[in-house]
Amino acid sequence: MIGSAAMPSTTTQTETGPGRAVPRMFSSAARITSNVRVQGGCHVLEMEPESAPTLPVPGQFVMLSHDDPGFPLLPRPFSLLGARETAEGPRLSFLIMPVGRATGSLCALTEGDVCQVVGPMGHGLEEGLPEGPLACVAGGYGIAPFLFAAERWQATDNPRLASLTVIFGARDAERLSVADRLEATGCTVDLCTEDGSRGTRGRVDTRLEAVLARGEFSSVLTCGPDGMMEAVGGVASRAGVPCRASLETVMGCGYAVCNGCAVGVGDPSDPEGYTYELACREGTLFDEARLQWNLF
């Protein structure tokens, strides 16, 4: 759907899988309240929807679009960097890198401009998360859902924050966008860069090996490039720790109509040994051991 400043706000009940429903998914015009360029070239974009009866939780995503003639035909999915209630109304924030027409157009918005937001979609990262110490591994702007969770847990005095370790990696220090915000939450932060300009020199999967070797962890979550997540999953598997990957899959609709976000997952009951599930409906978090990365 193409966003429009004049489009009325609506709410619906949307199925996200057998027996599961996300209550009151909304479609609303949203006014930009701030657009701040942070280190590495990313933008922190904050907006105020006209109506958001259900605030997204960490790990969920929404579809964004707006009426710029240069914006592509279809909206684009973005995970949340934050969602909160304010005296003025609900506020949603996103960490966006301008790499194409859609992201470039969104990052060019200024205060008072209007875009369209549809969501929340997908499942939150806390859904089905086992108790115990948690390791989150992020690459680049894949940090967004984990910073959202850490700041949310800090604001609500959630005891999980004390046992949260976030490994955040990038090519160089400049690309560690919002790292200072992450460190301010009080969780354990392990920064690494491939060139050694900040934190430990090396890749996040290598760093995860060292982190898992020094203590007990109940689960690993990861978000970033596919190759990185596959490597992180391999490290977690060898350590005997379950791992879930948050997929940054191309989508057309976000609510299981277009089937554009199908991903291959292992299925012993299928003659081929695998089947397909939709990242927007079954995900975006998947058990990494089930993912058939060669089918993406």
Residue 83 half-sphere exposure toward CB, CA atoms < 13 A: 22
Q: How many other C-beta atoms lie within 10 A of the C-beta of residue 179? A: 22
- Same fold flag, 10-121 and 125-246: no
pLDDT, block means (10 residues), the chain with 296 residues: 35 44 76 96 96 91 92 94 93 96 95 96 94 97 97 97 98 95 98 96 97 94 97 98 94 91 95 94 95 88
The predicted model scores a pTM of 0.91
Domain boundaries, the chain: 10-121, 125-246, 248-296
> Which CATH code of 3.40.50.1100, 3.40.50.80, 3.30.360.10, 1.10.357.10 fits the domain covering 125-246?
3.40.50.80
Class assignment of domain 248-296?
A: mainly beta
**pLDDT score of 24:** 65
| pLDDT, position 25 | 84
Q: How many CB atoms lie within 10 A of CB 257?
A: 11
Could you tell me the CA-to-CA distances from 155 to 88, 127, 161, 185, 220 in Å, in that order?
19, 19, 10, 9, 23
In the 8-state DSSP scheme, what is residue 91?
Answer: E
Do residues 228 and 205 make contact, with C-beta atoms less than 8 angstroms apart?
Answer: yes
Q: Which of 122, 77, 145 is nearest to 278 (CA)?
A: 122
Q: How far is CA 272 from the centre of its chain?
A: 31
Closest CA to 21 of 265, 245, 255, 264: 255
pLDDT of the residue at 19: 41
Question: pLDDT tens digit string along 199-225?
Answer: 999 999 999 999 999 889 999 999 999
Q: How far apart are CA 138 and CA 168, in angstroms?
A: 5
Q: Shortest CA distance to 140 belongs to which of 210, 227, 237, 233?
A: 227
What's the CA gap between 282 and 141, in Å, rounded? 22
Residue 58 and residue 150 in contact, taking contact as beta carbons nearer than 8 Å: no
- pLDDT in the model for residue 82: 97
Asked if the 10-121 domain carries CATH number 3.40.250.10, the reply is no
Spatial CB neighbours of 6, under 8 Å, sequence gap ≥ 6: 29
| Ramachandran angles phi, psi of 254, nearest 5° | 95, -10
Q: What angle do CA 60, 63, 64 make, to 5 degrees?
A: 130
Instruction: Please tell me the predicted confidence (pLDDT) of residue 52.
Output: 85
Rounded CA separation 282/39 (Å): 33
Task: Residue count of the chain, please give it.
Answer: 296
In the prediction, which pLDDT does 223 show? 98
Q: What angle do CA 24, 27, 32 make, to 5 degrees?
A: 125
Q: What is the pLDDT of residue 17?
A: 44
